[in-house]
Copies of this chain bind each other. A is one copy, B any other.
Amino acid sequence: VARRAGVSQTTVSFVLNRTPNARISEDVRRRVWEAAHSLDYEPNAVAQSLRRRSTHIIGLVIPDASNPHFWQIARGVERRAADLGYSVWLTSTDLNFERERRALASLRQQRVDGLILQVQFPVTLLREIEAIRAHGQPIVRIGRPSPDLDCLILDYGAGCIELLDHLVALGHRRIGFVFGTTAPNSLRPEVELGQDRLEAYRQAVERHGLDRDADLVQPCGPEPEHARQATGCLLALRPRPTAIIAINDYLAITVMRTVIEAGLHVPGDLSIGGFDDIPLAQYLTPALTTVRANAETVGEKAVDLLLARLKDPGLSPQHLLMPTSLVVRESTEAPPH
């Protein structure tokens, strides 16, 4: 391109990148653009990244690509990043410890400028995370707070209490919990996902003096099939729970189906509640009562946090608590009699 325009590489670089304090004559500028166009020139981003020591890519790791909630977060991240001139590299770990580790390693090697993580095995990943930070790649964590990381915490705990209070107010005393968070392919039990809701559940049970059989909490995997089985167990309990909450809307859909297949009416015989308020929740029949999480906003905020730190690495770690809110729809009602 330089040869074609009759100038040096430097000049071309200045012109094409619109380098601010490089004064180039209009004439040269025009010639360069013309040459670039006529040659269909495309800068090589790989070389640029190498030289600039910055890729302008944000790495995003989500735990489960099947769950619409995480896609919403991803959308938020992507939109915001695009607005600010960044690309997003999305990886899902499907709640698999090994994939999580690999994802982080790969993101580190690819030298993404920063990471937004919603990882599930933080203890075991501490070394990975340290390594990434040692590389100077900042991290924003979505989920639970970590002492020296920027964190975005979805206040599911408060939402869970709201949801349970709502059920109790309707008269429910025996509430099942489909706790679909364990990693099916992993022997490691340290998954942190959902602990907030579990704590809130236990606390509410305590406070309201609700039934507390251990069986009312059914841990299971993150796929619909797992939720179906867990729901089966719950329905087999005697007395049967009059309400079931699921760790997220995605699984709540399966819970609802399983309950209906068992010949029960929702909410007449059994109420159901979920978390996230995925877009589909309102289009189910009955429409799902759920705890809204504003996923897209979460994604956007995560980008903001990351870029703020990128700009000023000295900032003290930020912890943002994102509010949730109960959305009462049709799937909850007073228990029978």
Seen from chain A, the residues whose Cβ lies within 8 Å of a Cβ on chain B are 40, 42-47, 49-50, 55, 65-66, 68, 71, 74-75, 78, 82, 87, 89-92, 102, 106, 108-111, 131, 134-135, 224, 253-254, 256-257, 260, 279-280, 282-285, 287
Partner of A106, one of B46, B68, B87, B91: B87
Residues of chain B contacted by A66 (CB below 8 angstroms)? 68, 71, 75, 279
Residue in chain B with minimal CB distance to A258:
B283
- 8 smallest A-B Cβ distances: which pairs? A257-B283, A45-B109, A45-B110, A46-B49, A46-B50, A260-B285, A254-B283, A90-B90
- Residues of chain B with a CB closer than 8 A to A45's CB: 109-111
Min CB gap A332→B, angstroms: 17
Give chain B nearest CB distance to A71 CB in angstroms. 6
Known: A74-B65, A253-B283. A108 touches B42 (CB 8 A): yes
Q: Which residues of B contact A102 (CB under 8 A)?
A: 82
Q: What residues on B are CB-neighbors of A91 within 8 Å?
A: 78
In the bound assembly, the distance between CA atoms of A89 and B57 in angstroms comes to 11
| CB-nearest residue of chain B to A135 | B42
State A66–B280 Cα separation when bound (angstroms): 10
List the B residue with the shortest CB-CB distance to A79: B94
Q: Can you list 22 A-B pairs with a CB-CB distance of less than 8 A?
A: A42-B108, A43-B109, A44-B50, A45-B110, A46-B49, A46-B111, A47-B50, A50-B50, A65-B78, A66-B68, A66-B75, A71-B71, A75-B92, A78-B92, A82-B102, A87-B106, A256-B283, A257-B282, A257-B285, A257-B287, A280-B280, A285-B285
Residue of B42, B106, B131 near A109 (CB, 8 A) is: B42
- In the complex, the answer to whether B71 meets A87 with C-beta atoms within 8 Å is no
Q: How far is the CB of A24 from chain B (nearest CB, A)?
A: 23
Closest chain B residue to A127 by CB distance?
B40
Closest residue of chain B to A89 (Cβ to Cβ) is: B89
Which residue of B43, B47, B89, B284 contacts A284 across the interface (Cβ within 8 Å)? B284
Docked-complex contact A87 and B110, CB < 8 angstroms: yes
Q: Is the CB of B75 within 8 A of A65?
A: yes
Q: How far is the CB of A261 from chain B (nearest CB, A)?
A: 8
Contact B224–A44 (Cβ < 8 Å): no
